[in-house]
Amino acid sequence: MLTLLLGGAQAQPTALTGTGFTSLDGESVRAVRAVPGGYINYFYTALAPAAPIQQGQFSLAFAPATGGELVNIQAKTFPQLYAFVEPGAPVILRQTSPGPVKEATLLFEGPNAAGNNLLRAGRLLNRRAGVDQERVRRRMAPGTTPKAVLASLHDELRTCLAQLDSVRRRQLISAACYASLRAETEQSLLFWVGSLLGAYETEANRARLDFHVDEAGLRQVLQALEKEFDPYQPKYQGHFITLNTAQEKYHFRAKGWLPGPQPPRYWNRYATQFKDLFSDFGDIDYAPATIQGLLIGDDLLTALALRAMSDADFATVYEDFVKHFPTSPYVGVLTQALLHEHAAAAGPTTSSTAQNLGYYEAKTGQLIAIPTAGIDTASSIGAVVRRQFPGKVVFVDFWATWCAPCLVEFSHEAELHAFLEQQGIETLYVSVNNEGYRAKWREFVAQYKLRGYHYLAPPNVQKSLSTLLARGIPRYLLFDATGQLVDDDLPLPSTGEALRQRIQRKLAQK
């Protein structure tokens, strides 16, 4: 299917290889690429080049774009990982020490390794939530005028770009790699500023943000940055963060923070169909038509990946999209994706697909349904735990197929599973997807090999979780052997020892 998308069945050159992954044999690695002329989509990966790890090695073959491109390297136990690849310059990813894969144990080698290692280490403002956002906030907060805030932000950008300039001067990266990583860094700065100003729109966040310029001044800052680093410019297409900055831009246009005429409203008619994915989908009318043809195409690809709407609704939106944007690069991609999905749907199915409780069986790689009398009458997650796990300590992981941070945390499943098993603690993954995501829920459980019990929370249980999950997911709970909740906000699995110590401390107190 991939060769149809890329326009030929000829053998593809090796673009990315990995070595040293001796503990990960059998795990699949894929390179998620941007749609040519569009954006990268993290959720629809069925058409991405993929290969298994065998004897500690993997090899991904595809033809990089002529001018090079950024790819997202995905595997269950990999941290968030990106690399720049270009024709004739294969990238090597090495795990430098045995054991669990961590950022510190990975190293890029080969052409452009110096640039790719800056990305790996997060030196280019490249999407480290809680770190880069706070770093940018601290730059913005002391400024008492828009000019001062902008000067501080440009200082931050120069600090990051100085590292790129250094490796370029030493000819350690190509001109194409430099241009790509510079563009990514500029868009990352714009993204973090946009996310902070989005938080500022909520009155309760303003004291925490501690900005010393008023709303009018913040608008001036945003307008200046949008003019300088306009995400709609062609040079920014194909970068990881640009989809987000493009969405932020039409959001701020709709809110009146960015100037422009009132556009004709058309796509807002489909806001209901996209409500589970994008709360502000209707604002897409504020983007230029050429950008709409990319953004809506990407949204449809995500909706297809996550089963976010009924087949009838998808068909209606898709038909309208093709009618309005027949030359969008997403038309061909969506056609191939639909063919792939239809072929998958025609394959063998398993029984008891309507069961809400299951167990992932590692031998078969499948989620096995567990018929449990009365479980669907449970009105809370506590009731489910007490009914299904009497006398057991239970670790609960709330997640959803559309939650990117949840999926990132799954890369730490191996270490977490070993610890919980050693402690005699059961694992219950609770998906807060709605019923329409059932097939995707089962698929993701198998894809990420999530060992333990799984529960697709029905509406009555999800209603009981509204207060607990008000801050969002992922969220982690611990129930003791009597079924009592002893911790409703455990640290993330990525914190490693902090989570393990917290669990042990809580159980020791009983």
Question: Looking up tokens 């979780």, which residue turns up?
Answer: 465
Task: State residue 1's pLDDT score.
Answer: 24
Gap between the Cα atoms of 27 and 19, Å rounded = 13
Q: Count Cβ atoms below 10 Å from residue 456 Cβ, excluding itself.
A: 24
> What pLDDT digit, counting tens, does each position of 175-225 carry?
999 999 999 999 999 999 999 999 999 898 999 999 999 999 999 999 999
The 10s digit of each residue's pLDDT in 126-150 is 867 678 999 999 999 999 999 999 9
Percent of the chain with pLDDT over 70: 92
Residue 249's pLDDT band, with cuts at 50, 70 and 90, is very high
Q: Where are the beta strands (DSSP E) in 300-431?
A: 357-361, 366-369, 393-399, 425-431
> For all residues of the chain together, what is the average pLDDT?
88
Confidence band, pLDDT 50/70/90 cuts, at residue 345: low
Output the CA–CA distances (angstroms, integers) from residue 183 to 50, 164, 176, in the order listed. 27, 11, 11
Fold that domain 357-508 belongs to in CATH: Glutaredoxin (3.40.30)
Distance, CA of 44 to CA of 290 (rounded, Å): 22
Q: How far is CA 11 from CA 3, 22, 91, 92, in A?
A: 9, 27, 18, 20
Q: What is the pLDDT of residues 350-375, one digit of tens each?
A: 444 457 888 898 888 888 887 665 56
Q: How much is the pLDDT for 510?
A: 64
CA–CA distance from 506 to each of 83, 133, 487, 495 (Å)? Answer: 41, 31, 8, 17
Would you kindly state where each structural domain of the chain is located, as residue ranges?
2-113, 122-260, 284-347, 357-508
Q: What is the pLDDT of residue 353?
A: 46
* Strands of 69-74's sheet in order across: 50-52, 28-33, 69-74, 82-85
How many CA atoms lie less than 13 Å away from 295 in the CB half-sphere?
28
Axis-axis angle for helices 289-306, 329-345 (nearest 10):
10
Please say whether the beta carbons of 267 and 296 come within 8 A: yes
285-305 residue pLDDT tens: 999 999 999 999 999 999 888
More confident residue, 365 or 340: 365
Given a cut of 70, whether residue 115 has pLDDT beyond it is yes
pLDDT at position 284, please?
97
67-87 pLDDT, tens per residue? Answer: 999 999 998 888 889 999 999
- Is the model's pLDDT at 227 over the cut of 70? yes
Answering whether pTM is above 0.85, one says no
Per-residue model confidence (pLDDT) at position 452 = 92
- As to burial, measured by CB atoms within 10 angstroms (0-12 exposed, 13-18 middle, 19+ buried), residue 424 is exposed
pLDDT digits (tens, 9 = 90+) for 303-314: 888 877 888 888
Q: Is the pLDDT of residue 11 over 60?
A: no
CB-based burial of residue 231 (10 Å sphere; 0-12 exposed, 13-18 middle, 19+ buried)? buried
